[in-house]
Amino acid sequence: MTEKDKKVLENVFLANRPISCKKCNGKLFYMGGGKYKCHPCDEEYYDDFGKVKEFLEERGSAPAILISEHTGVRMELIDLFLRTGKLEIIENSKFYISCEKCGCAIRYGRYCPHCSREIFGGIMAMFHEDVGECPKKNPKKNVPKVHFFKKN
């Protein structure tokens, strides 16, 4: 999935958020976890993430295609929720997503732990190099000691 595709999906997700109550036209307040509540009439609404979360809480784990069919949430959005860590595939599942670098099976995110260390470790090393620090050395060992002499 390209960055452009991700931006399109994020815009779709934002466009599908409930804004006002269909029952009383009251303002909705975000309650967390994709849930919105109308304070005047206590009506509850869900955005796409909330629909998926509610489905999984009621029915337990399920393949993304089944979740998509029952909630009306696009498969690409479900994948985006997995890639961003909002959702996580249960352990010992038959289905996983793939690491974007090496292709191994992962439960959430974009990269497996090995590739994450490789990618982000390299980024951290470059950062430390740019600011003149060495990430592998203990900075306290290299700090010169300062001595003060008493005047008599």
Q: One digit per residue, pLDDT tens: the chain, 152 residues?
A: 667 767 777 777 777 889 899 999 999 999 999 999 998 899 999 999 999 999 999 998 888 899 999 999 999 999 989 998 889 988 888 888 999 999 999 999 999 989 988 888 766 666 555 444 444 544 454 545 555 555 55
Buried b (16+ CB within 10 A) or exposed e, 129-140: eeeeeeeeeeee
pTM of the full structure:
0.69
CB atoms within 10 A of CB 45: 20
